[in-house]
Amino acid sequence: MPGVGDYDEFGFLEDNMREWGIAVHPVTVRRAFAAVEGLRHVSALVWGDAAPELALLHGSAQNAHSFDSVALALDRPLVALDLPHHGHSDASPVGPFAPLEHAADVAAALAQLTTPPLPMVAMSYGGLVAITLAHLHPELLSAIVLVDITPGVSVNSAQHIIDFIQGPESFESFDEILERTMRFNPERSESSLRRGILHNALQRPDGSWVWRHQRHGAPSLRPDPDLHLWDWLEDADLPVTLVRAMGPSSVVSDEDVDEFIRRRPQDQVIEVPGASHSVQGSHPLELAQIIERVLFGETPA
Residue-wise pLDDT tens digits, 246-284: 999 999 999 999 999 999 999 999 999 999 999 999 999
What pLDDT shows up at residue 161?
Answer: 81
In a domain, 186, yes or no: no
Half-sphere exposure of 155 (CA within 13 A, CB side): 8
Whole-structure pTM value: 0.92
Active-site residue (options: 148, 199, 250, 283) = 148
In a domain, 284, yes or no: yes
Contact 169, 210 (CB under 8 A): yes
Angle at CA of residue 99, ends 89 and 84, nearest 5°: 5
Give the three-class secondary structure for 100: helix
In a domain, 181, yes or no: no
43 in active site: no
What pLDDT shows up at residue 225?
Answer: 66
CATH of the domain at 68: 3.40.50.1820
For residue 258, the one-letter residue type is D
Active-site residue (options: 277, 278, 282, 283) = 277
Question: Residue 290 CB: number of other CB atoms within 10 A?
Answer: 21
148 in active site: yes
In a domain, 301, yes or no: no
What pLDDT shows up at residue 163?
Answer: 82
Domain with 272 in it: 4-153+218-296
Contact 291, 147 (CB under 8 A): no
Higher pLDDT, 218 or 213: 213
| Alpha carbons 59 and 192: distance in angstroms, whole number | 17
What pLDDT shows up at residue 223?
Answer: 55
Cis check for the bond before 300: say yes or no (omega within 30 of 0).
Answer: no
Q: Residue 8 pLDDT > 80, yes or no?
A: yes
277 in active site: yes
| Alpha carbons 197 and 215: distance in angstroms, whole number | 14
Output the average pLDDT for the chain.
91
Active-site residue (options: 89, 92, 124, 192) = 124
pLDDT band at 217 (very low <50, low <70, confident <90, very high): low
Residue-wise pLDDT tens digits, 30-85: 999 999 988 899 999 999 999 999 999 999 999 999 999 999 999 999 999 999 99
Domains held by the chain: number: 1
Torsion sign, CA atoms 177, 56, 12, 183: positive
In a domain, 206, yes or no: no
Q: Residue 1 pLDDT > 50, yes or no?
A: no
In a domain, 291, yes or no: yes
In a domain, 212, yes or no: no
In a domain, 182, yes or no: no
Which is it for strands 240-245 and 268-272: parallel, antiparallel or unpaired?
A: parallel
